[in-house]
Amino acid sequence: MQKMSSPDQHHELGPSTLKYVEICPSYRSSNETNPFAEEGTKLHEAAETGNLDGLDEEQMRLVIACLDYIKPLEDGADDIYKELRVEIKHG
In this predicted model, what pLDDT tens digit does every residue of 1-49 receive, in sequence order? Answer: 444 445 556 666 677 777 888 888 887 777 778 898 899 989 999 998 9
Residue 56 forms part of a structural domain: yes
Is the predicted pLDDT of residue 59 greater than 80, yes or no?
Answer: yes
Better pLDDT: 25 or 71:
71
Whether 73 is in a domain gets the answer yes
Domain that residue 62 falls in: 2-85
77, part of any domain? yes
What is the pLDDT at residue 61?
A: 98
Residue 16 in domain: yes
Number of structural domains found in the chain: 1
Cα 71 from Cα 87, distance rounded (Å): 27
pLDDT value of position 37: 84
Residue 30 within any structural domain of the chain: yes
Measured distance CA(48)–CA(44) in Å, rounded: 6
pLDDT at 3: 46
pLDDT of residue 4: 47
Phi, psi of 85 (to 5 degrees): -90, 125
Within-domain flag for 66: yes
